[in-house]
C-alpha cells in the first residue's frame, strides 16, 4: 500500500521524485555520450539536466516542508516553533534560484558556442550523438506529458516549472537531433566542410531559444518575494468584503493580500460603528467563518486573518 502511495500520480512529492530520477539518468547519459561523440552541445545538455535535477531535489525538500506544515504532521516541534509562519516563502525563492541558474548556464553555453563557431568549430561523431538525441527526446516528451496530466489534479507551481523544464529539454534535444541528422546527411558531399560547425551552431541556436523561457518564472518569483498583490485575488477579496460590509452595516473595510508560492496571505479589517450593539464572541466567530467560506480556496495553504474594530487606526 505504501508503495502505491509513493508512486501516486496525485502526489506532488512522488511526481517530483520520479522527475529527479529520470533527469539524473538523462544527465549522466548526456555527459557520457557527449564525451564519446565530442559534442559540446550534448555535454551542455547533460550539465543543464544535472542542475535541473539538483534544483528539483531542493524543490522536493521544500514541498515536503510545506506539506508537513500545512497538514500538521511529520514536522519537528522545534521547526514549527521557529517557523511559525510556515515555509511557503521558500517556494518562490527556490523557483527564482532555479530559473536564474538555468538562464545563467544557458548564457554561458551560448558564449562558448559563439566562440567555438568563430574558431572554426570541431569534429563530431554523429552516430552516438544521434542515438542520444533520439533516446532523450523520447524520455523528455514522455515526462512532460506524464507531469502535465498529473498537475491537472495537483496544481503545483513546482510541477508547472518542471513541466516547462521537460519541454525545454525536449526542444533542446530535438534541435540537436535535427542538426545532427543534417550533419550526418551531408557527410561525403560537397557540404562536408560545414560539419565542424554543426555542433556549435546547434548549441548557439538552442541557447538563444531557451534563455527567455525561465524569465517569466523569475518575474513571478520576484512578485511573490516582494508580496505584490495579485489583481485577481485582491478583486475577489474586495467583492466578498463589500458584501459583508453591506450585510452587517459595517462602516468600511481594508484588505491586504499577497501570494507567496502556493499560499494566499489575506488580512481583512472591518471597521464597525462604535455604537453598534455588542455581539458575543461566538457571533463574531460565526461571521469570520462565513467570510472564510465566501473567500474559499485551499485552507491548508491560506493564511487568513479577519479583525473587527471600531478604531480605524487598526485597519490602516
Q: What percent of the chain has pLDDT over 70?
A: 97
pLDDT digits (tens, 9 = 90+) for 7-58: 577 788 888 888 889 989 998 998 898 888 888 888 888 887 888 788 778 8
| pLDDT: which is higher, 235 or 70 | 235
| pLDDT: which is higher, 14 or 234 | 234
Three-class SS string for 4-34?
A: HHHCCCCCHHHHHHHHHHHHHHHHHHHHHHH
Q: Is the pLDDT of residue 307 over 50?
A: yes
**Following CA atoms 279, 285, 288, 290 in sequence, which dihedral angle do they give, to the nearest 10 degrees?**
-100
Beta carbons of 270 and 250 less than 8 angstroms apart: yes
pLDDT digits (tens, 9 = 90+) for 166-176: 887 887 788 78
147-151, 203-207, 298-302 — most confident range: 147-151
pLDDT value of residue 241: 95
Q: Is the pLDDT of residue 286 over 60?
A: yes
pLDDT value of residue 2: 40
Question: Is 255 in a helix, a strand, or coil?
Answer: strand
Q: Is the pLDDT of residue 6 over 60?
A: no
pLDDT value of residue 165: 78
According to CATH, where is 1.20.1510.10 located in the chain? 2-225
Q: 239 falls in which pLDDT band (50, 70, 90)?
A: very high
Global pTM exceeds 0.85? no
According to CATH, where is 3.30.70.1350 located in the chain? 231-314
pLDDT value of residue 66: 80
Q: Is the pLDDT of residue 258 over 60?
A: yes
Instruction: Give dist(CA 14, CA 156) in Å, integer.
Output: 13
pLDDT value of residue 248: 92
Q: Is the pLDDT of residue 5 over 80?
A: no
Q: What percent of the chain has pLDDT over 90?
A: 28
**CATH architecture, domain 2-225:** Up-down Bundle (1.20)
Q: 231 falls in which pLDDT band (50, 70, 90)?
A: very high
Mean pLDDT, to the nearest integer, of 128-134? 92
Averaged confidence pLDDT in the chain: 86
pLDDT value of residue 271: 94
Q: 73 falls in which pLDDT band (50, 70, 90)?
A: low
Beta carbons of 122 and 199 less than 8 angstroms apart: yes
Residue 310, C-alpha cell as written in the block? 471600531
What residues form DSSP beta bridges with 306?
268
Other C-beta atoms within 10 Å of 11: how many? Answer: 17
Asked: is 231-314 a CATH 2.40.160.20 domain? The reply is: no
pLDDT value of residue 4: 41
pLDDT digits (tens, 9 = 90+) for 182-206: 999 999 899 989 999 888 888 888 8
Q: What angle do CA 166, 168, 173 make, to 5 degrees?
A: 95
By 3-state DSSP, what share of the chain in percent is helix, strand and coil, each rounded to 5? 70, 10, 20
Amino acid at each position: 500500500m505504501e508503495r502505491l502511495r509513493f508512486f501516486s500520480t496525485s502526489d506532488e512529492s512522488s511526481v517530483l521524485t520520479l522527475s529527479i530520477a529520470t533527469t539524473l539518468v538523462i544527465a549522466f547519459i548526456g555527459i557520457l555520450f557527449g564525451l564519446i561523440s565530442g559534442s559540446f552541445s550534448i555535454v551542455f545538455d547533460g550539465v543543464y539536466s544535472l542542475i535541473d535535477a539538483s534544483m528539483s531535489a531542493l524543490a522536493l525538500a521544500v514541498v515536503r516542508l510545506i506539506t508537513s506544515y500545512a497538514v500538521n504532521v511529520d514536522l519537528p516541534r522545534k521547526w514549527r516553533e521557529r517557523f511559525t509562519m510556515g515555509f511557503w516563502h521558500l517556494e518562490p525563492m527556490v523557483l527564482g534560484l532555479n530559473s536564474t541558474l538555468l538562464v545563467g548556464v544557458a548564457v554561458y553555453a551560448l558564449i562558448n558556442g559563439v566562440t567555438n563557431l568563430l574558431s572554426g568549430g570541431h569534429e563530431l561523431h554523429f552516430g552516438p550523438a544521434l542515438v542520444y538525441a533520439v533516446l532523450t527526446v523520447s524520455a523528455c516528451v514522455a515526462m512532460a506529458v506524464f507531469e502535465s496530466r498529473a498537475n491537472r489534479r495537483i496544481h503545483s507551481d513546482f510541477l508547472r516549472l518542471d513541466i516547462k523544464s521537460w519541454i525545454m529539454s525536449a526542444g533542446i534535444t530535438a534541435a540537436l537531433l535535427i542538426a545532427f541528422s543534417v550533419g550526418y546527411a551531408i557527410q561525403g558531399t560537397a557540404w562536408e566542410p560545414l560539419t565542424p560547425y554543426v555542433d556549435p551552431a546547434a548549441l548557439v541556436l538552442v541557447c538563444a531559444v531557451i534563455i527567455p523561457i525561465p524569465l517569466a518564472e523569475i518575474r513571478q518569483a520576484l512578485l511573490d518575494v516582494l508580496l505584490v498583490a495579485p489583481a485577481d485575488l485582491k478583486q475577489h477579496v474586495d467583492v466578498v468584503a463589500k458584501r459583508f460590509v453591506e450585510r452587517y452595516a459595517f462602516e468600511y473595510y481594508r484588505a491586504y493580500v499577497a501570494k507567496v508560492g502556493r499560499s494566499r496571505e489575506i488580512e481583512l479589517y472591518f471597521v464597525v460603528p462604535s455604537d453598534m450593539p455588542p455581539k458575543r464572541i461566538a457571533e463574531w466567530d460565526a461571521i469570520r467563518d462565513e467570510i472564510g467560506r465566501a473567500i474559499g480556496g485551499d485552507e491548508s495553504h491560506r493564511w487568513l486573518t479577519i479583525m473587527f474594530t471600531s478604531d480605524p487606526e487598526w485597519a490602516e
